Structures are given as structure tokens and as C-alpha cells.
Amino acid sequence: MNTTARTVTLGTSGLTVDDVIAVARRGARVELAPEALEKVTRVRAHVDDLARSDTPVYGISTGFGALATVHIPVEKRTELQRSLIRSHAAGMGPLVEPEVVRALMLLRAKTLASGHTGIRPETLQTMLAVLNAGITPVVHEFGSLGCSGDLAPLSHCALVLMGEGRAFGPDGVERPVPELLAEAGIEPVVLAEKEGLALINGTDGMLGMLILALADLRELADVADVTGAMSVEGLLGTDQVFRPELHLPLRPHPGQGISAARMLATLADSAIVASHKQGDTRVQDAYSLRCSPQVTGSLRDTIDYATTVATRELAAAIDNPVVLDDGRISSNGNFHGAPVAHVLDFVAIPVADVASLAERRTDRMLDTARNHGLPPFLAGDPGTDSGLMIAQYTQAGIVSDLKRLAVPASVDSIPSSAMQEDHVSMGWHAARKLRKAVEGLRRVLAIELVAAARAIRLREPLQPSPVTGAVVAALPEQIAAPGPDEFMAPQLAAAEEFIADGTMLSVVDEAFAARPEL
């Protein structure tokens, strides 16, 4: 995690997407706005009054879920909150990534700061102190059904506020939680009425993963346009299908227009493309080349829609029961993750399709029946060398996995809590599989990048466009030029990192900046 000097302020309204990314990935500090502190304090006083009354209120003087009819006496209510967190911290499986845990905690703090949960100011401040100290609770992959909140993941975070559970320090090393808190000068909290429920009853995990995935996918859509254009060059395809008059005027999907324009600009002044504008007997390129803007553009439009949903959710205050502005405490169903779960599943579909298209372009470059004069598998000495034959196998395996990850999780529901929670969203699972899909798409594009760069090099002495030429020239040194076979896995890993760390798009941006007419 990179640290940044930026500070994110929690007010009584929502956060921005950039706020979440800054805290989750760049270690930005979080502070509470004075007006938020005032409202949280005022609402908590109202909750304290209710706690002292004989009127049963869910989450304050009753049990939870199917045990909501059980009255809890005053002397056991602190124990009720502690027991809630301990019992609900029931996750299992692989550990969730630190950036996801930080996003989860920030988004929960955002709702707590809204003044609609009844949290005490000191408990909210403790959560912010843990975030700012770089302490990351251990959260497991399984435990949320995406309804009644991301219960187990948030409970593992709440446990750390109590001085219990497991956590990593700012150095990424796991140490005892009391030791980590003491080192940061943080006093563990003793949860009061309503606080346990307020800490765990939200869609924060699935929303955080959606926001992080969308940020990655916006970049990968740009990458896909470039690797697609490189494949067009490598396969002696035409750039004429990307002309602007063929897109928005005829089919006004914004994403398609963006991708077509980027591909056309990427291929501008390519000597390879120009070399076959005369005397080429082909009438049309294959769909995987010609229809790239339509497919990648659809991913762009899906990202835009999902961002709209994420932005709405960022403005939400999700808890149950919720404290209304008039002071009433009311049960509700806003914790249900369906709105987020549906878009998480939706986005996974075009992700798989963009990857499938890239794999088809790669396979075409390796096949002498379709690659217009390139050697089999782009090998140095075909027969002795296998070239990129098995790299394409790897790519095909990832694409197959992406197709499975595109199967929606949100259409499944397993009733829980003795049938009180009889329909759940599975949004957390939709989010987990989208994260895997993002990784898969990046790897598929990395393999296409290696193949297209080799194909372009094999077209020498013809020169690529200034943009694609800059990409080829900037490739990591591990990525071999055409010639005898070399250890392939490090080449693919280097290409993946070249994309993941932003180097590739920086090279593209610099090449575009050098040619403002594009």
C-alpha cells in the first residue's frame, strides 16, 4: 500500500469513488467533519434514552435475526453486543486482500458518520484511528451472504476495535491485536447498545470491491483497445472500420465510440497498415478485429452504469434498524445487497467477452492459415521451437475460467437464520468472483500483448504506428524478441506487471501527447 498525504473527510453525506481508492490503495488518512461529529453525538443521546426505556427496540433491547423476539435485560446488553461480534466473526477460507479490508472499514465508517446508526462518537473515532494507523483486520473470504450486511467480514473488523481477533500491522506482519492497538495509542472499545449491529449491517464489502474493480477495468478497457490495435497491425488488418462516421452517427453507444476512436488513433501512421491498402484481396477482417470497439465499448458502457449504482450506494446510509431524521428508529431492508450484487454480476459478463475476443485475436496470430505470412506460433524455428503455442493454451484456460466467473451469483439464494432471512443477495460472492475476473482479463491481455508485439516485430522492416511502436520499445527486457524459445512464464509475468503497474498506459499517453492532432 502506497501512502499519500491526502486526507478524506467523513461528513454527513457520502464519499466519492476517488475517496475510496485513495484510502484503500494509497493509505490516505480519514477524519471526521465537525458537523458529522455533532450529529453522531446528538443521535447517540437519543439511542441512550431508548435504551433506558421499557419499549423493546430491535438491536438495542432485543436479540438479532430470528431471535428478535427475545428481550434482553439492561444488565446483559453490553454482553449482547460483544456476543454478537464474536459469534458473527465466523469467516473461513483465504484471507481477503488488505485493500478490500480498508475499503470495507472506510465505507462502514462513512455510514456511521451519517448519524443514522446510533453509534457512539468514540467508537467511530476508534475505527478511524485503526484505519489511520495502518492496522488491517484479518478477514476471510467466506462468511457473507450479501444480506443483513457483509456480516462476518465486518464482524472480524469490529472484533479488532474490541481488542480481539487478528490483524496485520502497518508493516504487513500479523501481531497480537492488543499489541498493535497499544503501539498506536488506541484504547479498545466496550460496545454499548446498538453498536454491534451498527458496525456490521451494511453492503460495504461488496461495494468496496465493486469500486476497486471498476477502477481497474477502466484502465483495462484502454489496454484492450491498444492490444487490439496491435493485433490488427500484426495480422495486416485495416484501420478503416474504426473511422468515426461508422460508429456514433450510426450506433450511438458512447463506449463504442471511445474504443473506435482510440484504436484509430493508436494505428495512425502505421506503415504496416499502409503496406496492404493496395492490392489486398480481403474484403473484411475477421470479427475479432473488426468488432473490437463494439465489444470493448460495451464493457465501457457497463462500467459507466455500474459506476452510477456505486455512486448511489456511496450516498446511502445502510443499517437496520436505522435512526431517521425525526428521531424514530425503524426496521428496514436497505441492507439487502441486490442493487450492488446485480451490477457485480453484470460487469463480469463483458469482462469475459473482452477476454474471449483477445484470445481469438491471439490464436489467429499463431495460425499460418490465418496470420498472413507469419511463422507457425510465431516461433523462431518452427518445429524445433514452439513459440507461443502454450501461451495461448494458458490464455484459453483463463478465458474458460472467466466464462464460469460470468455465471451470476445473485440469482442464487440460500435461506438463513431459521428462515427469517429467507432471500439473500450473494453479493459478496459476486464481488469476489469479479475480482478474480479482473485478474484474468489482465492476464489474457498480457498474453495478447506478447503475441502482438512479436507479430509486429516479425513484420520488419515495415514499421508500426508511433503509438504501438512506443509500446513495443518499452516492453520489459524479459520479453524476448522473435528467435529461439526462452522460458515463457517470466515473459508473461513481466507483461502482466507492465500492464498492472500502469507503465503501458503511461507509454501510450506519452505517445498520444507527442501527437496532439490525435
Distance CA 19, CA 28 (A): 8
For residue 69, what pLDDT is reported? 67
Spatial neighbors of 41 by CB under 8 A, at least 6 apart, are 121
Superfamily name and number for 210-317+345-513 = Fumarase/aspartase (Central domain) (1.20.200.10)
Q: Which is it for the CA torsion 286, 288, 292, 295, positive or negative?
A: positive
**How far are the Cα atoms of 155, 212, 337, 343, 418 from residue 430, in angstroms, in the given order?**
20, 14, 10, 9, 24
For residue 261, what pLDDT is reported? 98
For residue 67, what pLDDT is reported? 64
With contact defined as beta carbons under 8 Å apart, do 320 and 332 qualify?
yes
**How is 374-410 classified by DSSP, letter by letter?**
PPGGG-SSBTTB-TTHHHHHHHHHHHHHHHHHTS-ST
pLDDT tens track of the chain, all 518 residues?
666 678 999 997 779 999 999 999 999 999 999 999 999 999 999 888 877 776 777 667 766 665 666 777 777 777 888 999 999 999 999 999 999 999 999 999 999 999 999 999 999 999 999 999 999 999 999 999 888 789 999 999 999 999 999 999 999 999 999 999 999 999 999 999 889 989 999 899 999 999 999 999 999 999 999 999 999 999 999 999 999 999 999 999 999 999 999 999 999 999 999 998 877 777 799 999 999 999 999 999 999 999 999 999 999 999 988 989 888 888 888 889 899 999 999 999 999 999 999 999 999 999 999 999 999 999 999 999 999 999 999 999 999 999 999 999 999 888 787 777 777 888 999 999 999 999 999 999 999 999 999 999 999 999 999 999 999 999 999 999 999 999 999 999 999 999 999 999 999 999 999 988 77
**How far are the Cα atoms of 6, 125, 130, 245 from residue 110, in angstroms, in the given order?**
17, 12, 14, 45
With contact defined as beta carbons under 8 Å apart, do 306 and 350 qualify?
no
How many CA atoms lie less than 13 Å away from 374 in the CB half-sphere? Answer: 31
Backbone angles phi, psi at 408, to 5 degrees: -65, 140
Q: Pinpoint the alpha helices (H) of 406-426.
A: none
Distance CA 22, CA 24 (A): 6
Distance CA 66, CA 241 (A): 60
CATH number of 7-202: 1.10.275.10
Q: What angle do CA 264, 267, 270 make, to 5 degrees?
A: 145
- pTM value is 0.95
Residue positions annotated with a catalytic role: 58
Instruction: Give the residue extent of every domain in the chain.
Output: 7-202, 210-317+345-513
For residue 66, what pLDDT is reported? 57
